[in-house]
Chain A
């Protein structure tokens, strides 16, 4: 059985990557809906943090079984 951390890493990697990519898209195609502090692009750096964290967990556990 795959360890739980494998699934945690995978879902964080997928969702983090989606947020990061969407953030980069919004950088060049700004949305009509503006949010407070949008100028610091929280979606880009937070999505990146999630993707890196999740990717690390996934990579470390991809060959493990419990």
Chain B
């Protein structure tokens, strides 16, 4: 069923967007002269540019649609993904980890593993990460085609190929700088394109308090409008999760595992012009991350309130008897937006999808070129050859994303794999990075086998539940849980297994000399950055402000 029709002006706006991104890619090509320009945008971005790009690399349309839909399904608890599930990790990255990442002049996160441990650990993570980016890029492409087909009636193949070719052109021409420019444009288009839904929904219903009141009236047994008050009993909240799962699984493992180790976002911080800007990048981004629930969560709550009012005429789409939760945002666009604004809303979603692909492709081409090709296949490659390889791997990465997208199309529930993929790769990697940066006696063999154990255990737990080898209550330690809760707990166990195996094997294997680890491990590194700057201008002070805002928001919506 087609939910949104496009008029002439909507098509004009969409074409303006495509013309802009292609034009920017062409314009920036003359400034992309070497491999540092292509892979790290010349390392000359300001805090604001790197910070908005850092956030936008994470903010894809898949997340916007999915999280609005998840809010309809689970309620206010989805805000945890934007608050406790992001902010502490972002601040930790900026304050404690960025000095080691940035100062070691590495080109990628696997590059840090090479310096701290050894080549085999780097290659293991490089291969896992490269596969993950291709999978996620393909899922983005598939999800975009699904949305455009379902809500606009667009042809599958045309949607996927048009988007893939556009991304291939502008990233192939100018690398990370192009990806960053379009990500920042995407950030503004998303705010202007989608925040209006929250404003109009609140105007229609009356107030945010009225929205909460209507939802509470219809759902008196399970709370959809609280954040923590009902978290001590999983049967009382829409996500069926205990606060332990939120804090440990999401707030610690999944959150830190993603924000402190995923090269897709960290690559944007590497493009900053100096260490202080790099440290400020995730801290600045944290403020905008905290504001996103005012688009995503409020829209989902508006959809719940409208759905429970028969007079509103608002109801989500159904596919074969199942509710299509992802239809919440597109249907709200169709409800409130006249022509012109519809074009803006669709462009915001398109921009989000394409930025998600571009981000994953630019991360892929960097990890492939430095951590697999140069590290293993061609160690003597020249700078010009690496630049050429970067462009070629962009085209190959986009082509492989198309293959992944068509493969994803053949499965009915591929969307479920997104969070699972992060728990397979990022959760155990976080244990490796945390131990590597803070414990000098962790050995290369400990790190390698810990990472293997963590990734294998996470994948095994996923298969075990999927094929009923055992019940997922063993993982979640609760008889009542949602798929989301199971993801959180699985990430925690993968992290723990990786950490334990790493420590045990390190106790019995050869340690590296302390002198070799200076600049890579806290405690062995003299840190005197920002000492000359007044405290109120330091990243630490801004991080404290961010933390205070986080606490206030959690108390306000307790």
Binding site for B on A (CB under 8 A): 1-2, 4, 7-8, 10-12, 14-16, 18-19, 22-23, 26, 31, 33, 35-38, 40, 42-43, 46-47, 50, 66
Contact = CB atoms under 8 A, between A and B. Distances in A.
A35 B185 contact: no
A23 B340 contact: yes
A2 to B, nearest CB: 8
Interface string B470-514: 000000000000000000000000000000000000000000000
B340 A7 contact: no
Contacts of A4: 49, 180-181, 184-185
A26 B339 contact: yes
Majority DSSP secondary structure for residues of B touching A: helix
Nearest to A40: B203
B338 A23 contact: yes
A42 B196 contact: yes
A15 B347 contact: yes
Which one of B12, B16, B337 has the highest number of Cβ atoms from chain A below 10 Å of its Cβ?
B337
Interface in B70-97: none
Contacts of A18: 9, 12-13, 16, 340, 343
B200 interface: yes
Nearest to A18: B13
Contact of A22 (B17, B185, B188, B340): B340
A35 B337 contact: yes
Contacts of A46: 192, 196, 341
B9 A11 contact: no
Interface string B1-22: 0000101010011001100100
B154 interface: no
A27 B344 CA distance: 19
A19 B344 contact: yes
B24 interface: yes
17 contacts: A4-B181, A10-B20, A12-B188, A15-B13, A18-B9, A19-B13, A22-B339, A31-B339, A33-B5, A35-B336, A35-B337, A36-B204, A37-B200, A43-B337, A43-B338, A43-B340, A47-B341
B520 to A, nearest CB: 32
Contacts of B335: 35-36
Contacts of A14: 16
B31 interface: yes
Interface size class of B (residues with CB under 8 A): 35 or more
Give the most central of B181, B196, B336, B338: most A CB within 10 Å. B338
Interface of B: 5, 7, 9, 12-13, 16-17, 20, 24, 27-28, 31, 44, 49, 180-181, 184-185, 188-189, 192, 196, 200, 203-204, 334-341, 343-344, 347
B192 A50 contact: yes
Given A4-B181, A23-B340, A11 B5 contact: no
B338 A35 contact: yes
Contacts of B9: 18-19, 22
Contacts of A42: 196, 200, 336-338, 341
A1 B340 contact: no
A47 B17 contact: no
A37 B188 contact: no
A43 B9 CA distance: 12
A8 B16 contact: no
Contacts of A16: 192
A11 to B, nearest CB: 5
B415 to A, nearest CB: 29
Nearest to B314: A36
A35 to B, nearest CB: 5
A41 to B, nearest CB: 8
A8 B185 CA distance: 6
Nearest to A22: B340
B13 A11 contact: no
A18 B189 CA distance: 14
Contacts of B49: 4
Given A2-B27, A18-B12, 18 more contacts: A1-B28, A7-B24, A8-B185, A15-B13, A15-B16, A15-B344, A18-B13, A18-B340, A22-B340, A26-B339, A26-B340, A33-B5, A35-B335, A36-B200, A42-B336, A43-B340, A43-B341, A46-B341
A40 B103 CA distance: 54
A43 B344 CA distance: 10
B409 to A, nearest CB: 31
